[in-house]
Amino acid sequence: MRAKVVHRVGLGTDLHRLEPGGPLRLGGVEVPADTHLAGHSDADVVLHALTDALLGAAGMPDIGERYPDTDPALKGADSRKLLAGVVDDIERAGFQVVNADLVIHAQRPKLSTFKPAIRAAIAEILRVDVGDVAVKAKTHEGVDAVGRCEAIACTAIVGLGAVGR
């Protein structure tokens, strides 16, 4: 196994409000729910936070600059494809993803049974082993928009290794 040295670290966050009706997509996985996340694209807060973390670690413009919500071509866009494009650009810039650590903030639905699928989906997009991705879920104990089931948020941190630097 080759040695991985973290050269850069990035942090990303995202929050979208919940609206009635499904499907609810988190980390590229459809989660059965009677609500969905509202947004210009598919509003996958997990992949949006992860995308911003990767862009930050690589010193690239943030997700809002790269994929503006004013671009009609991005209406309903699949965040898995957007994230995959960022991974391609990061690799072309001489970096590789070392690891990702995510916290999904959701009062409901309960996510414990979906975390392994989310973890695997993210690992596939990032081109890393599933053991290099951690996914945690936290409630907000009834406090704030997340706690009142009005929104779901995600916080992501990633490590990048420099290739040939």
* pTM of the shown model: 0.93
Average pLDDT over residues 73-78: 87
Helix (H, G, I), strand (E, B) or coil at 44: coil
**pLDDT tens digit string along 112-162?**
999 999 999 999 999 999 999 999 999 999 999 999 999 999 999 999 998
Q: How far apart are CA 67 and CA 11, in angstroms?
A: 18
pLDDT digits (tens, 9 = 90+) for 109-119: 999 999 999 99
Listed by start position, the domains of the chain span 6-162
Topology adopted by domain 6-162: 60s Ribosomal Protein L30; Chain: A; (3.30.1330)
Angle CA(17)–CA(21)–CA(22) in degrees, nearest 5?
Answer: 90
What confidence score (pLDDT) does residue 162 get?
86
CB 35 within 8 A of CB 18: yes
Flag whether pLDDT at 163 surpasses 90. no
Q: What pLDDT was estimated at residue 123?
A: 98
pLDDT class of 73 with cuts at 50, 70, 90: confident
Alpha-helix residue ranges (DSSP H) falling in the chain? 45-57, 63-66, 79-92, 115-126, 144-147
pLDDT at residue 10, as a whole number: 98
